Structure 1
Amino acid sequence: MSRPTPNARDRILTAANKLFYSEGIRAVSLDNIAEKAGITKKTVYYHFKSKDDLVEAYLVSRDQPNLTLYRKWFSEADGGLPDKVAAIFFQIAVSARHPKWKGCGFLRTAAELANMPGHPAMKVGAAHKKKFETWLTEEFQAVDLEQPEALARHIVLLLDGAFSTILVHRDADYAEAAGNAASALVLGAMQKGPVAGKPSVKSMG
């Protein structure tokens, strides 16, 4: 059975994903995207009112797939909570060793738009990072760790630091080092015991 032909908007977004991620948003023009998508520039403007609109849509299209992938790496990892958190970093290290890997698309876009804090894409990127942080917080709350919000924020800082440092040094080992640090943070929080007044995870089993 043949696959349905992607509509024009989907083709534009696919082309934008490939070009914006590989070359950066400032280096890519709407002409480049139209050519990559095999359509006219007029068609691009029919679906997206401006390049800024398309950059925003590009990040929106990456939001849920990325979050779903993080959750998958976490849930499928063997071991306890520290191992599951570390697995996210270790999988990023695997991805970073691929020649086409160019880092976190959200962070790279934020860097290119650093002088435009009100840009719609900046808001999408901030929301994406906050969703990841909130999800981690909920995972830590589920096992009654103390200060789950602070712990989740520390993990986010390690993750985004790893993304940036890998690009500087071109060395994926930094993601593994950050993963080990994240694992140690989670283990330390677990060793402090559950929140006062709540039964431990073991006693609830």
Structure 2
Amino acid sequence: MAKVSAPTRDRLLEAAGKLFYAEGLRAVSMDDIAEAAGVTKRTLYYHFRSKDDLIAAWLETRDQPNLAAFRRWFSRAEGDVADRIQAIFDNLARAARRRTWKGCGFLRASVELVNLPGHPAIIAARAHKKRVEDWICSELLRAGIPGDTRAIAAQIILLLDGAFAVVLLHRDPVYFENAGKAAAVLIRSC
């Protein structure tokens, strides 16, 4: 029986995602993506009007899986909300110890496209980060954390995204662990 391949759009997104994550957005050409997906450039442009649209679509495919991972790590952790938030950082530290880890695709896209604030990928990245912040805020509210939970969630996002940057810079996952401890202290100080 012949193997059924994934739909073309999915193959394109998968190939583009692997290349974008490994090499960076600007380093990857549409030719590279078409070749990796086993399609012609014409087929690629049939599914995506531009590289910009493809980049944004790839980031949008990462939104829910990334948020689901955070939720899973949070829900599997024991302890109070501070311990559970800290568990997200600890799991990120574990992930960062893999040789293939290259940081947060959303943040890397924002760096590569810093001069293009209206770029579809920047909009997708901003939306993802907002969803993560909203989810953290909802968990803080659910746990009955007093005070301005929106501000606390924003501070946790600063710790999270700052840790992504510093871990990528130094290649030292301990920064995730330290940021997680700081997030737990922040929550417990409320």
CA contact (8 A) 2:70 2:88 kept: yes
CA distance, structure 2, for counterparts of residue 41 and residue 50 of structure 1: 11
Give the structure 1 partner of residue 56 of structure 2. 56
CA distance, structure 1, for counterparts of residue 140 and residue 153 of structure 2: 8
Larger-Rg structure: 1
CA distance, structure 2, for counterparts of residue 138 and residue 4 of structure 1: 41
The secondary structure found in structure 2 opposite 1:52 is: helix
Task: Quote the sequence identity (%).
Answer: 53
Distance 1:144 1:2, change over 3 A: farther
Give the structure 2 partner of residue 170 of structure 1. 171
1:75 is displaced (CA, Å) by 0.5
The TM-score with structure 2 as length reference comes to 0.96
1:114-149 deviations in Å (ceiling 9; x for gaps): 000010111110010000101111111112222111
Show structure 2 runs of 5+ residues with no match.
Answer: none
The TM-score with structure 1 as length reference comes to 0.90
Show structure 1 runs of 5+ residues with no match.
Answer: 190-205
- Count the aligned residue pairs: 189
Are 1:22 and 2:10 matched, yes or no?
no
The secondary structure found in structure 1 opposite 2:100 is: coil
CA distance, structure 2, for counterparts of residue 2 and residue 101 of structure 1: 34
Give the structure 1 partner of residue 99 of structure 2. 99
CA distance, structure 1, for counterparts of residue 81 and residue 6 of structure 2: 40
Matching residue's letter, 2:21: Y
Matching residue's letter, 2:161: D
Give the structure 2 partner of residue 154 of structure 1. 155
1:2 is displaced (CA, Å) by 8.6
